């Protein structure tokens, strides 16, 4: 099995369904960062047979609740001084800010790129959000 040095400070995203880790990796743009990052794929797991794990050796400023779009059983571990100080499952966020661009080409957020976009949850079951600027409804089924 592949060994990766445990991290002193940062975030470990565990129990990612096998094959989905790369989506999270790309979504968080971890290929562009300068700190240490590890993507482990197809790690044997008692709970789910096979899983992906992402280790990030840095604090990141993104609300990881967005990962609930992929799977609610993903575990997010916050590490400090080599210990897990917080462990949680992502919850469907009530609001999403700036992460996703509106699909409506006439939306003000498509024109003014500096504008932070905000989506409001309209249905938890169908994972549908509404753009606060143009009422466009987007369905979040994948990152």
Give the Cα separation of 138 and 131 in Å (integer): 8
Binding of Zn ion by 99 (CB under 5 A): no
Cβ-based nearer residue to Zn ion, 30 or 131? 131
The 101-120 site mask, x for binding Zn ion (CB under 5 A), equals -x-x--x-------------
Cα–Cα nearest to 77, from 91, 56, 49: 56
Binding of Zn ion by 96 (CB under 5 A): no
**142 neighbors 70 (Cβ within 8 angstroms):** yes
**Contact range with Zn ion by CB under 5 A, out of 11-19, 51-59, 62-70, 99-107:** 99-107
Give the Cα separation of 92 and 65 in Å (integer): 6
Binding site for Zn ion (CB under 5 A): 102, 104, 107, 131, 133-134, 136
């Amino acid at each position: 099995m592949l060994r990766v040095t445990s991290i002193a400070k940062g975030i470990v995203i565990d129990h990612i369904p096998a094959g989905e880790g790369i989506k999270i990796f790309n979504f968080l743009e971890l290929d562009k960062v300068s700190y240490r990052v590890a993507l482990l794929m197809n790690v044997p797991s008692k709970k789910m047979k096979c899983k992906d794990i992402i280790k990030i050796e840095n604090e990141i400023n993104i609300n990881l609740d967005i990962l609930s779009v992929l799977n609610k059983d993903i575990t997010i571990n916050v590490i400090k001084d080599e210990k897990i100080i917080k462990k949680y499952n992502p919850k469907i966020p009530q609001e999403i800010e700036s992460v996703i661009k509106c699909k409506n080409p006439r939306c003000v957020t498509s024109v003014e790129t500096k504008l932070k976009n905000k989506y409001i949850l309209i249905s938890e079951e169908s994972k549908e959000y509404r753009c606060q600027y143009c009422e466009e409804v987007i369905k979040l089924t994948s990152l």
